Amino acid sequence: MNILVTGGLGYIGSHTCVKLIESGYTPIIIDNLYNSKKSVLKRIEKITGHLPQFYYGDIRDKAYVDSIFKKHSISAVIHFAGLKAVGESVTKPLEYYEVNIYGSICLAQVMRDNKVNNIIFSSSATVYGEDNTPPFIESMPTGKTTNPYGTSKLMVEQIYTDFYQANPQLSICLLRYFNPVGAHPSGLMGEDPQGIPNNLMPYITQVAIGKRECLSIYGNDYPTRDGTGVRDYLHIEDLAQGHVDALKKMNDSGVHIYNLGTGIGNSVLEVIDSFSRACGAPINYKIVARRAGDIAECFADVKKAKLELNWHAKHTLDQMTSDSWHWQVKNPNGYPDE
């Protein structure tokens, strides 16, 4: 069964492709390599014994995407492709809206034209906005997002919901991620941001290995147990498995919404402490001003995914930091260029 995976060489997409292959699916990857590298393909092959079909291209190029649908019998789409840095979205809102929203519309139009009815969308917990109190539940109202990245995810959710209302044969799964971290336990695959990392874990790993001098903690005056921001960190292996489990909803028409998280919040300082134990050395950090668009706490209620998908997170925070460190040590410069 062929699954089109947009952004399939990125951090989440590549780990999901491994899980898809291990579960008997055939991923067909399209990626423009904006924040990924082609060498990831060989890592997927080394882990699974299967080299996925790869197309270099952009989902905004509808003619090119349509040609992929014409070449393969696609059963479902898993849509990862998009820009994803909260802070960057504040300074580059137009780019985020164009890539994330227009790209998602183009993809849906090609799906419609090729009569492909199943899509899993990579959404985000940021859609819950600033008015809801964690733990966040799927039935909560969304809106009042605090940054353009979150707003773009919220708008795509609405667009895809409207798409379903006009085409009730569709099965649309909106997966609201919390904070993916960690790496494949082999150390062959992990998070490899291009340039300065925008997320906490890869920045910590680069400080730990000596590539960067110091980690900046954005604020220690939040109303949390130690003053630093609290997030629901989720092992990438658990998140990837969530997409495979969500394929159970294929051909079950409707809009299906699930949180993917652990249901537990950890502060920035707690993550640093866990990583220090993993690498056997303290992490150099400093406290700086809060970052635009950040909220104090964000963690999930995960009962619905457990009930309907039989999915739950299995990895602990210490496993997340240990696997991140293993990846960084084995790949100090990330994936090789190709």
DSSP state of 98: I
233 and 323 Cβ atoms separated by less than 8 Å:
no
The answer to whether residue 34 is catalytic is: no
Phi/psi at 11 (5° precision): -55, -55
Query: How far apart are alpha carbons 27 and 4 in whole angstroms?
Result: 6
DSSP class per residue in 284-317: PEEEEPPPTT--SEE-B--HHHHHHH-------H
Terminal CA-CA length for the chain: 29
Q: In sequence order, what E strands does the chain have?
A: 2-6, 26-31, 53-56, 74-79, 118-124, 171-177, 179-181, 215-218, 230-231, 233-235, 254-260, 266-267, 285-288, 297-298
Query: How far apart are alpha carbons 179 and 271 in whole angstroms?
Result: 12
Q: Which amino acid is at 111?
A: M
Tokens at 9, concatenated: 């060489």
7 and 82 Cβ atoms separated by less than 8 Å:
yes
251 and 169 Cβ atoms separated by less than 8 Å:
no
217 and 287 Cβ atoms separated by less than 8 Å:
yes
Of the residues 11, 149, 203, 233, only one is catalytic, namely 149
Query: How far apart are alpha carbons 1 and 78 in whole angstroms?
Result: 13
Positions annotated as catalytic residues are 149
